[in-house]
Amino acid sequence: MLVALLLLLPFSLFPQSPPTGLRVDLIEHSDRVFIHGELSQLSLWEVESIIEPVQTAAVTNTRPVFSWEMGDTRPGIRQTAFQLQVDTAAFADGRTPLWDSGKRLTSRQQVAYGGSPLSPQTTYAYRVRLWNNRGESTPWSQPKAFRTGAELTPGGLATYPLQQMDEFVLLEKDIRPGLRFYDFGKAAFGRLKLTAATRSEDDTLIVRLGEVVTRHGRLDPEPGGSRRFREVKLPLRQGRHTYTLAIQKDARNTRPGAILMPDYIGDVYPFRYAEVEGEATVLQLSRETVIYPFDDLSSDFECADLVLNDIWDFCKYSIKATSFAGLYVDGDRERIPYEADAYINQLCHYGVEAEYTLARKTQSYLLFHPTWPTEWILSTVLMAWEDYLYTGNADFIARHYDDLQAKSLRSLTETNGLISTRTGKLTDSVLQSIHFEGGRLRDIVDWPHKGILGLSGDDSGETDGFVFTDYNAVVNAYHNRALQVMAKIAAALDKEADAAAYAAQAVAHREAFNRAFLDPEKGYYTDGIGTDHSSLHANMFALAFGLVPAERVATVTAFVQSRGMACSVYGSQHLLDAVYAGEEAAYGLSLLTSETDRGWAHAIYEVGTTISLEAWDNKYKPNQDWNHAWGAAPANIIPMRLMGVKPTRPGFATFQVKPQPADLAWARLRYPTIRGEIGVAFEQTPGERFALALTVPPNSEAEVWIPWAGASPRLMVNEQPAEYRRVRGFLVVAGVTPGGWRFVVE
């Protein structure tokens, strides 16, 4: 059964297969050409001969970075050298290319352009060939074209244009004569296009769009909060015509700070359902849906739990649908990027697609357009590290190192070793260093707070009663994580003195954190100095960010479990990180699949949304919208925690596979990375047998953790007895090389 469960990578039938998956500044499909956001048949070499305005993925970096995947997937094959060429035309024998890297002896799978300056608005081609550890060379890859932007700058970003596509109705029915109901199956951001015929010159259709239906199967005209409903009167012209419904300006999501849609797309509206009322004949109805280009087929997950399968599909689609703005935004109500939203969105995007440019574009925006919560500023540092860890491309952290140092908020450190926004250190110069303009920086913990955004004073909000003091445990947990990350970033950039200083400060701050917030009698954390209240948040962030002393992990974990899901959908990301970091797999699975009103199953089956929510339910945030990517945490928790696939060196040079399946009978995952697909599948009879199949992509290496709590295990790898080391409830096998592997323990 295990072989049938696993979608293994297709192994090369021929040796020396050429490289594949070529990218320029992380853009894989640099050669695609769009017209008004719709994919065309044109090649980049044809764009200057086309009258219509076209859109392409513009490369704006003066020294773009080229990367590739090894096409040769034979077991054990590794890259030992590469050669990359760039030219202004298709490569031909005898022609000297614009730039030739020469043969470089390295296993690195990326190289920065090193030739004469590139010209703006020019089409180029590049190709690469490799040498492997058997001394074999590959043929040249197929040339890949890219086009530069109108202006080139050091570190300039490459991003795709937005893509528009027509989607058609899945279900339609007559409500009564002259009133028809349409269902597109899922909500999306777009516009309605309608073809109608009438013999009258002054006929009118009434068109209604929305996200919510009543229990009677009609569009809900008063969905409440930021759920969408719109009614439009459509004057018709005699004969047969196609109409596109224009979107009226929304004062909230077009105000300063909101991300506006580009002119070649126009504004969009989130809806799933439509109603059309009138006597004219409606011949066709479609939705012009807008997304950032998304590969639905690049990832896959399935397991024995049908509810979890639905949750995966729901969260994966949420990441696709909410990409409509070309930045990670907080949904339709405001269309503003927020750091903590973007951090979760980034991890989720990495979990479902090997697409890194949207996260990097959002990070670049947020560096200079920060928002007001203290923890959100610190999240910027976390985003930067994940960008480097998943891509292996250090351009962003190198270019913005000074900004990231400021965002770690070291300047707020007090004599007790902790940071605070309330003790006078948050000066104008500090705010300027983090590019914060207007308003004031303040702690958030979770959102919403008690008594705001439609909550009454009796409602508890989503902070589990957190007591705010001058020294906040959650803010300081974030700060410690930022210090840990800055030490890694400095080391990656060969700033050895900085790396040592950040590492030492992280240790000192951890000691100060535990002195200040860890209650020795209770064995878990209080919210701050001056209060004896202990919230879920003070404890789950301490666990998630590695601050809990080993001897206190059990008591902190017990307290966290006693609080349940006493946090928002944002907090659920960090709660699940904490739970799986503590290897509490059964509890993690129970949270993921919970059918209470604080779970994703409730959103799917009871609320009826097809995109993740801003809150668990309307009652927990009455003004919420129904299209918020920060509510899609299982899109990263399932592949990275439950199935356990995480990079351990930048760009997946090495990675860990540490499944924590609890009692799931089987599961399989196809996981995309910048080096190629990872395939993981397991089947088990808990306590009796566990079998794991794994595909390691070329030029990478895995460390595999087999969950096994029983005594005297016998581990077989590819049907041969294998050595392992025992770490708690796992059997660990290091140095797993490229190829297909089967691990069985019983």
Contact between residue 385 and residue 499 where contact means Cβ atoms under 8 Å apart: no
**Rounded distance, CA 584 to CA 548, Å?**
15
Q: In 11-47, which positions are buried (b, 16+ CB within 10 angstroms) versus exposed (e)?
A: eeeeebbbbebbbbbbbbbbbbbbbbbeebebebeeb
Using 50, 70 and 90 to split pLDDT, how confident is the model at 438? Answer: confident
Half-sphere exposure at residue 146, Cβ-oriented, CA atoms within 13 angstroms: 29
pLDDT higher for 485 or 457? 485
Contact between residue 653 and residue 701 where contact means Cβ atoms under 8 Å apart: yes
pLDDT higher for 13 or 193? 193
Mean predicted confidence (pLDDT) in 238-265 = 95
Token duo for residue 387: 């960008």
**Rounded distance, CA 694 to CA 6, Å?**
8
Lowest mean pLDDT across 2-6, 383-387, 603-607, 696-700: 2-6
pLDDT tens figures, 218-230: 999 999 999 999 9
Q: In this structure, what is the dihedral angle of CA atoms 217, 222, 223, 227, given to the nearest 10 degrees?
A: 120
Contact between residue 205 and residue 276 where contact means Cβ atoms under 8 Å apart: yes
* Alpha carbon distances (Å) from 636 to 28, 56, 83, 172: 22, 29, 35, 35
Using 50, 70 and 90 to split pLDDT, how confident is the model at 4? Answer: very low
pLDDT tens figures, 197-206: 999 988 999 9
Domains of the chain: 2-153 (2.60.40.10), 163-291 (2.60.120.260), 295-369+567-642 (no CATH), 373-563 (1.50.10.10), 650-745 (2.60.420.10)
* pLDDT value, residue 6: 45
Half-sphere exposure at residue 141, Cβ-oriented, CA atoms within 13 angstroms: 27
* SS3 category, 668: strand
**Rounded distance, CA 465 to CA 395, Å?**
42
Mean predicted confidence (pLDDT) in 101-126 = 97
* pLDDT value, residue 1: 52
Residue 369 has pLDDT above 60, yes or no: yes
Contact between residue 270 and residue 197 where contact means Cβ atoms under 8 Å apart: no
Cα 652 to chain centroid, rounded? 16
Residue 458 has pLDDT above 90, yes or no: no
Mean predicted lDDT score pLDDT of the chain: 95
Residue 80 has pLDDT above 60, yes or no: yes
* pLDDT value, residue 10: 46
Residue 123 has pLDDT above 50, yes or no: yes
* pLDDT value, residue 15: 60
Contact between residue 77 and residue 738 where contact means Cβ atoms under 8 Å apart: yes
